Amino acid sequence: MKLLVVGGGLMGRAAAYDLARQPDVAQVVIADLNKDRAAEAARFARSEKAVPLRLDARDADAVAAAFCGAKAALGAASYDLNLGLSCAAIAAGVHWCDMGGNNAVVDAQLALDEEAKRAGVTVIPDTGLAPGMVSLLAMHGVRSMDEARTVRLRVGGLPQRPRPPLNYALVFSVQGLINEYVEPCAAIRDGRLVTDIEPLVDVEEISFAPPLDRLEAFNTSGGTSTLPRTLLGRVRDLDYKTIRYPGHAAIMRTLFELGLLSRREVELRGTRVAPRDVLERLIAEHAPRTEDDLVLLRVTVEGTKGGRPARAVYEMVDRKDPATGLTAMMRGTAFPSAIVCLMMARGQTKPGATPQELALDADAFIAEVRKRGLPLEASFEVL
């Protein structure tokens, strides 16, 4: 079968790398507005199945031609393209998933549910790591309980060797990073959906195996996507926090309170400038960029089973794979998206526009994650 990947950046090329290694995939078209980036992504896949294509994703006719003959398509480009591409996929009869990144866009995609059902097409937005895989793991844990009460999601992408002052290296776009730090966070608290929780607060200690035994986690936005709405009425508490090295939250919160993460323009020497634009530029210039990264994940679900307290825990510590050149963030984000794309193409989903946590068989998904060597561990205990 033929599959299409829209976006030839780091995540798109990692997804294409994975898709090209599946025996039932005959061709993976990697499309990008920049033809050189598309060609580079195809070379990175190291497979004759990978074919580059220059594509303007805002050109309806070009998009329709790119979808022709494809069984499913995966979006790894800017989130502002995802609604239009979802509509085009439905019109072409092609299943669609993407890596998301914006709640309003996701809501608009999910509103296409009836249209997708009529076309026999599956649309799944916000796949990847977080949002994405963590939501599916949370649902797996909730379904393992007679009654689930709390869901805690903790995720982070970090350099293996931190450097001050931020003890952080850019593992994805600086714009996406700052979005997580400034936008209000969603959670379930005492059975109520709360959507205006402050970011960069509620810092807690979190530990993994040494040398990662002294870390912190704090509120950030975007990681839960639709999960709080999905689980509203089923759990009492749910929250999401990002993992960093100690002290990072305090530094970023200080910048936040000083207004340096704001898009509100200020006048400076006769020129109006947004402080956030300056800060993003400086972080992009001065923050280290490392390929020696690691991804940390822990999803904890607590409730009852057979009348006794129970706990399900999903944990992963992954590092860059030197054999393939794939960073931990590429593996942790792109591989889950590729799995969703494959599950749609293989007929393992039902038509409609559906959140990932409701669209997929979690056991089948977890099995595919482990096939790819991602060190995801799961435990369930009755206390």
- pLDDT averaged over consecutive 10-residue blocks of the chain (383 residues)? 96 97 97 96 96 96 96 94 97 96 90 97 96 96 97 95 84 77 93 95 96 96 92 97 95 91 87 88 80 93 96 97 92 97 97 96 96 96 93
What's this model's pTM, rounded to 2 decimal places? Answer: 0.93
Confirm if 380 and 310 have CB atoms less than 8 A apart. yes
Residue 165: asked if its preceding bond is cis (omega within 30°), the reply is yes
Q: What percent of the chain has pLDDT over 90?
A: 82
- What stretches of 232-382 show up as alpha helix (H) in DSSP? 248-257, 275-286, 328-345, 356-359, 362-371
Amino acid at 117: K
Q: How far is CA 295 from the centre of its chain?
A: 12
Enclosing H/E stretch for 305: strand 293-305
- The pLDDT value recorded for residue 123 is 98
> What whole-number distance in Å separates Cα of residue 195 and Cα of residue 225?
11
What gap in Å lies between CA 204 and CA 178, rounded to an integer? Answer: 20
Long-range CB contacts (within 8 A, 24+) of 160-163: 160/290, 160/292, 160/293, 160/294, 160/319, 160/320, 161/290, 161/292, 162/245, 163/288
Q: Label the pairing between strands 27-32 and 147-159.
A: unpaired
Check if the beta carbon of residue 353 is closer than 8 Å to that of residue 86. yes
Q: What is the pLDDT of residue 172?
A: 66
39 half-sphere exposure, CB direction, 13 A CA radius: 3
pLDDT at 171: 67
Which CA distances in Å does 236 have to 123, 150, 239, 258, 304?
29, 6, 11, 34, 13
Containing 156, the helix (H) or strand (E) segment is strand 147-159
C-alpha 382/C-alpha 145 separation (Å) is 10
CB-based contact 374:315 (threshold 8 Å): no
Which two three-digit tokens encode residue 39?
Answer: 């060609």
Domains parsed from the chain with CATH numbers: 2-126 (3.40.50.720), 130-246+287-328+375-382 (3.30.360.10)
Q: Which H or E run contains 109?
A: helix 103-110
Q: What does the pLDDT look like over 141-175, one tens digit per residue?
A: 999 999 999 999 999 999 998 888 888 887 667 77
Please tell me the predicted confidence (pLDDT) of residue 76: 95
List Cα–Cα distances, 227 to 106, 154, 267, 298, 310, in angstroms.
12, 14, 41, 16, 21
For 320, list phi and psi in degrees, rounded to 5: -55, 140
